[in-house]
Amino acid sequence: MEEIEQLAAKMDRDTVLFIGSGASSPAGLPSWWELVDWLKDYTNSLGGDINAANEYLKTSQLINATSTLTSQLNKIGKSLADFFNEEPKCEIFTSATPKEIHQLIAQLPTSSIITPNYDLLLEKTFDETGKPMEMVYKGDKDRINSILRNAIKDYIYKYHGCITKPDDIIFDFNQYNTLIHTPNIDKECLRALIQTKTIVFIGAGLEDPDFNHIRDYLNEIATPKNMELWAFMRDCEPIKEHYKEAFGINLISYAGQGNDHSDLLTKLKDLILRLNDENGKVLDALEIASPSGIEQKKIEGLLRNALLQANDEVMPLDEAIIGFIAFFDTVEKNICFRYFHDRKGHQVGEISNRVEYLIQNKLIKATENYLMPMNCGFSQEAAEQMEEEILDYLMEQENE
């Protein structure tokens, strides 16, 4: 895939990921339409007038519908923050668990992320991989200035607010208009990043207002073609050339309908493999020799990348310990230690140090007596690498 190769060549530690709401939908988070419906039902349950909102929704004016509903809430002494705190359905913003797309995002070579999403999926993902991020919220001048000075690189910048700070969430027309059209540090930060960084959009749609704002901004300035903006977009093949010429945005089209994002996941796996594979030679050879085998190859490299994120080198013993634990799902500590001491010849102190290292870096989990794998793609890969060796070991144990 030529576009994936080109993007892999551009991505590095300084790349910024823009993660849109589409990345949250596999975890059960609502679309913008669904969230407005929730707000409408909440307003109606409190006796607010929803007639104007219904009229706006007939013509897909979601921001205006949200604004009139917010106005109705204010008239009865309520607010958007009350909606997010009191509406039972909004509990999903805190309870949702990361999915495969989030694990793939965490495998990319950058940890600089901006997102309009209110949920906690990205925070949970990076915590699970042992790489907690600096959280930057809307209006946080000190941390936003740190982003602009490159003083922090591992961050999640939630410029529309977060469910943990519902009073600051941007959802209606007045709030959004203020962000876009009045001087503020959030807008200036976004514009500076657009002009100075490689930006990759994942989970944003062509009708996403944030994506369109960036697109329109690029149309205003003189040299959009000198910038590096890439966007994974569903079924955008017919307009790719126009977007490149008019806005300097490189669109990567993926197929799918509704909640089917499998082709997007496939392309992200391609990208990860390209990033891990010098010049893409392994992938090219595999595509020629065995097209049917490429899907398995795409998931490989997650283990190596996870270990490299925790340390500067990959320790074979670390890979083996993760694989041994993941194979059994849950294993007693003494069984794990006995395997690597008696069968593999490692010293007990060495095994203990590596297990403790893996626990501290959240590559495995532990209780007092048991070891457990993280629920991530790299655990599956490690288990598959150890499978044959462990099966031989179990056969030997059975025959003794």
Q: How many whole angstroms separate alpha carbon 77 and alpha carbon 71?
A: 10
307 Cβ contact list (under 8 Å, min separation 6): 314, 315, 318, 319, 363, 378
Query: Pick from 14, 54, 16: which is nearest to 37 by CA?
Result: 54
Residue 98 pLDDT greater than 90, yes or no? yes
Q: Cα(159)–Cα(296) distance, rounded to whole angstroms?
A: 37
How high is the pLDDT of residue 159? 87
pLDDT for position 62: 86
User: Would you tell me how many other CB atoms lie within 10 Å of the CB of residue 279?
Assistant: 11
Residues 364 and 371 sit within 8 Å (Cβ to Cβ): yes
pTM: 0.68
Q: Where are the domains of the chain?
A: 2-28+102-274, 32-94, 302-399
The whole-chain average pLDDT of the chain stands at 83
Instruction: Show the tokens assigned to 203.
Output: 């989970």
Looking at residue 295, its pLDDT comes to: 45
* C-alpha pair distances (Å), 69 with each of 51, 61, 66, 165: 9, 12, 5, 20
Cα–Cα distance measured from residue 170 to residue 165, given in angstroms and rounded to the nearest whole number: 11
Instruction: Average the pLDDT over 233-244 and give the result.
Output: 89
**Which class would CATH give 302-399?**
mainly alpha
Instruction: For residue 311, name the pLDDT band (cuts at 50, 70, 90).
Output: low
Closest among 232, 234, 227 to 248, alpha carbons compared: 227
Question: Which residues have C-beta within 8 Å of that of residue 256, sequence separation ≥ 6?
Answer: 234, 235, 262, 263, 264
For the chain, the C-alpha Rg in angstroms (whole number) is 24
Q: Do 225 and 35 form a contact (C-beta atoms < 8 A)?
A: no
The model's pLDDT over 33-73, given as tens digits with 9 standing for 90+, comes to 899 999 999 999 999 999 999 999 999 888 889 999 999 99
Torsion angles phi and psi, residue 228, rounded to 5: -115, 95
pLDDT tens string 253-295: 998 877 778 889 999 988 888 887 644 444 444 344 444 444 4
Domain 2-28+102-274 matching CATH 3.40.50: the answer reads yes
DSSP annotation of 169: -
User: Nearest Cα to 396, choosing from 339, 313, 357?
Assistant: 339
> Coil, helix or strand for 197?
coil
pLDDT tens digits, one per residue of 380-397: 888 888 999 999 888 887
Residue 175 Cα distances to 30, 63, 80, 167, 325, angstroms = 20, 10, 11, 11, 49
Return the half-sphere exposure (C-beta side, CA atoms, 13 A cut-off) of residue 288. Answer: 5
* HSE-up of residue 136 (Cα within 13 Å, Cβ side): 28
pLDDT digits (tens, 9 = 90+) for 118-170: 999 999 999 888 888 899 998 899 999 999 888 888 999 998 889 999 988 88
The predicted pLDDT at position 121 comes to 96
Sequence-distant (6+) residues with CB within 8 A of 257 are: none
